[in-house]
Structure 1
Amino acid sequence: MARPMGPVRLKRTNPVTLVLGAALCIFILYFVIGSSAPDFSPSRKATAASHHLSPPTSPFRKPASGSKPKPPPVAHYNLNNVTITPNPLENRENILILTPMARFYQEYWDNLLKLSYPHELITLGFILPKTKEGNLATTQLQKQIAKTQKTGPEKDRFKSIIILRQDFDPPLASQDESERHKMQNQKVRRAAMAKARNSLLFSTLGPSTSWVLWLDADVVETPPTLIQDLAKHDKPVIAPNCFQRFYNPETKAMDERPYDYNNWQDSPTAQEMAQHMDPDDILLEGYAEMATYRALMAKMAKPDGLLHEEVPLDGVGGAALLVKADVHRDGAMFPPFAFYHLIETEGFAKMAKRLGWQPVGLPNYKVYHYNE
């Protein structure tokens, strides 16, 4: 016969266990609710953008609950007050230097630091590809930026620096000079370059920018007064002549030779060739297979010529190019497609001319390209 059970006694819970359980519950609730709610703490609000058009581009944050909300900021810019004059230094005009970069050259950066235009008026903009080589160039660039902006002399520090990474793959696996300049690679290569230039331009051109200086990453030597020298011509688009220094084995001494053949004056032969091309075909300069007989500024340099002699141009290169910001604001960009059978910088020159802006070149004013 079964014996009746006595009353059941529950084991008394340890108070420490209850405290730990309650603390755990509170932590879980805080984590779930706190992670989804906006953070309006003073430290967090300090990183929010004080102005919606100024970096860093953090979101504009509403004030904490309970306080009276303020409207988001409204910026007013009168572009009529932005001067673009032959005396940018005297008028304290803002310069935007833009550089598409696949490789980093220390000589390029050293030359930038030598520019005599006040660095507090210069904004630098870079765009680099998302490749192994582009990653290396970005690392090297950021190292020099940190050195200049954080520990370098005050006079060397720039107003601001913007780095973009391309959101498309480069068409060429190699950036070697021999590979870049093969004729069969030119259309896809220059279309990609045009896209990179446009991305860089549209992301960095600000309402206070007066001049845009396009300077290739492999241009390693320019006069320190490059910006002032080009601006004083007061031309909407102006290009110096790009040469390259090299050791001449015939003379056994250092010499120089023309490099950029994209600064040119059009010819009847080139115009005739264009009339018989398909709409998507482009004319290229500097190739024997496509003799255009254009007048090349690279061949116009004279040892005894006037330094600031001007010649009108129908096509321009991008090695070094000073552009009034109003030309870009009017819509002149770098076509990544055949535009009157021209592409990239040469297409830009054509577009500028169609908008009423005449490009000009300086045959005897030289900048120098890196010699690989």
Structure 2
Amino acid sequence: MAKVLILTPVKNATRFLPGYFDRLNRLTYDKQQLSVGLLEGDSNDGTYEELSTLAKANASKFRRLRIFKRDYGFAIPPHMERWETSMQLARRNVLARSRNQLLFRMLDDEDWVLWLDVDVIGYQADIVEHLLSYKLDILHPDCVREPGGKSFDLNAWKDDGKQNMHDLRGTGRPVRIDSVGGTMLLVRADLHRDGLIFPSFRYGVESPSIRSCHPLWGKGEIETEGLAAMARDMGQQCWGLPDLQILHA
């Protein structure tokens, strides 16, 4: 049976952590083949303390479970929302660095890495088996706010960003996409070992794999979209499952 590593960066996530671990415990995949790693940074709501408590309570249930802390000194001003346009490049830079830190600290002998955001609040108990069954190196289900609704994770797209996952529904099978998000993302671990990371900078400025112009910061893709562009440059194809939906808070 394949060994799977679930990785989650967290910040100010106290309210989501109990449900996060409840859903992990309900997974039907053999827990002795599942490892879990979380990295907390820059929280001001007691996330690390809550995470430490929950990690101790759940560590014996998985093959490995470790938590890490890495602060970057980044905070969105109180009067701004996290999706404020002016904050996106800096916010995604820190998120990419957090993902890479977590990956490099945690990846051992696993066959697959499943990136899972802490505020994904609904997915089927056999999601790991389901994703692995396709045997695709990079695979992304559709993340929505309500069943059948439009995609929440708009970082997964194709055709220069003209189509999102909700535009690709109806086939019942994987479809080729040009970019991915990180709400839930399955990656073959050897791709990460071969150098596939989440760029913390605008990757691919001269690459034909990226959009001609990002709507917020111009040329180049960062974080999950940067990973997809890098994967394409490595000769890999990203896939989406628009008919498999997971729920975001």
Q: Give the shorter-chain TM-score range.
A: 0.7 to 0.9
Rg larger for = 1
The one-letter code sitting in structure 2 at the alignment partner of 1:119 is: K
- 1:139 maps to 49
Q: How far has the Cα of 1:166 moved from its partner?
A: 1.0
- Alpha-carbon distance in 2 for matches of 1:310, 1:358: 11
TM-score normalised according to structure 2 size: 0.87
CA distance in 2, matches of 1:321, 1:220: 15
1:94 Cα offset (Å): 1.1
Instruction: Say yes or no: does 1:259 pair with 2:152.
Output: yes
How far apart, in 1, do the equivalents of 2:77 and 2:98 lie?
16
1:242–1:369 Cα contact (<8 Å) kept? yes
The CA deviation at 1:256 is: 4.1
Deviations along 1:143-186, one digit per CA (max 9) or x if unpaired, are: 22233346xxxxxx011111111142124255x9x711111111
* Counterpart among 232, 238, 246 of residue 139 in structure 2: 238
| In structure 1, distance between residues paired with 2:19 and 2:43 | 22
- Find the partner of 2:165 among 270, 279, 297: 297
Aligned twin of 2:201: 337
Query: Which residue pairs with 2:215 in the alignment?
Result: none
**1:240, 1:313 → 2: CA distance?**
11
Distance, in Å, in 2 between the alignment partners of 1:115 and 1:297 is 25
Which residue identity does 2:101 align to in structure 1?
S
The amino acid that maps onto 1:158 is F
SS of match in other structure, 1:245 = coil
Q: Does 2:102 match 1:200? A: yes
Distance, in Å, in 1 between the alignment partners of 2:122 and 2:64 is 22
Q: Report if aligned partners of 1:244, 1:256 keep a CA contact under 8 Å in 2.
A: yes
SS of the equivalent of 2:111 reads strand
- Contact kept in structure 1, 2:151 and 2:164, CA below 8 Å: no
Provide structure 2 residue ranges, at least 5 long, that are not aligned to the other structure.
205-219
After TM superposition, the score normalised by the length of structure 1 is 0.59
Larger CA deviation: 139-148 vs 218-227: 139-148
In structure 1, the gaps of 5 or more residues are 1-91, 151-156, 247-254, 268-291
Q: Which residue of 2 aligns with 1:125?
A: 37
Provide the secondary structure at the position in 1 that maps to 2:191. helix
1:18-39 per-residue CA deviation (whole Å, 9 max, x = no partner) reads: xxxxxxxxxxxxxxxxxxxxxx
**Shift of residue 192, structure 1, vs aligned partner:** 0.5
Counterparts of 2:179 and 2:139, CA distance in 1: 11
What's 2:208 paired with?
Answer: none
- Quick one: which amino acid aligns to residue 316 of structure 1? V
The answer to whether structure 1 residue 112 and structure 2 residue 24 are counterparts is yes
Partner of 1:89: none
User: Is structure 2 residue 77 aligned with structure 1 residue 209?
Assistant: no
Separation in 1, partners of 2:56, 2:72: 27
Change (3 A) 1:159 1:100: same
What does residue 164 of structure 1 align with?
68
Would you tell me which structure has more strand in proportion to its own residues? 2
| 1:149-188 alignment runs, 5 A limit | 149=59, 157-173=61-77, 179-188=81-90
Is the contact between residue 151 and residue 165 of structure 2 (CA under 8 Å) also seen in structure 1? no
1:181 match: secondary structure: coil
**Partner residue, 2:240:** 361
Identity of matched residues, %: 32
Deviation, 1:197, is: 0.4
Note the aligned Cα RMSD (angstroms): 1.9
Q: Which amino acid aligns with 2:112?
A: W
Question: Displacement of 1:111 after TM fit?
Answer: 1.1
Q: Deviations over 1:326-362 (max 9, x none)?
A: 1101101000000121000000001011111111000
2:2 corresponds to 1:98: no
**RCO greater where, 1 or 2, for CA within 8 Å and sep 6 or more?**
2
Is the aligned partner of 1:324 residue 2:188?
yes
Aligned mates of 2:54, 2:143 — CA distance in 1: 25
Partners of 1:263 and 1:298 within 8 A in 2: no
Report the 3-state secondary structure (helix = DSSP H, G, I; strand = E; otherwise coil) of the residue aligned with 1:336: coil
Number of paired residues? 231
Aligned mates of 1:217, 1:170 — CA distance in 2: 19
* Distance of 2:75 and 2:236 partners within structure 1: 32
Quick one: structure 1 residues 146 and 162, their matched pair in 2 at CA, closer, same or farther if it must change by over 3 Å? closer
Which residue identity does 1:186 align to in structure 2? Q
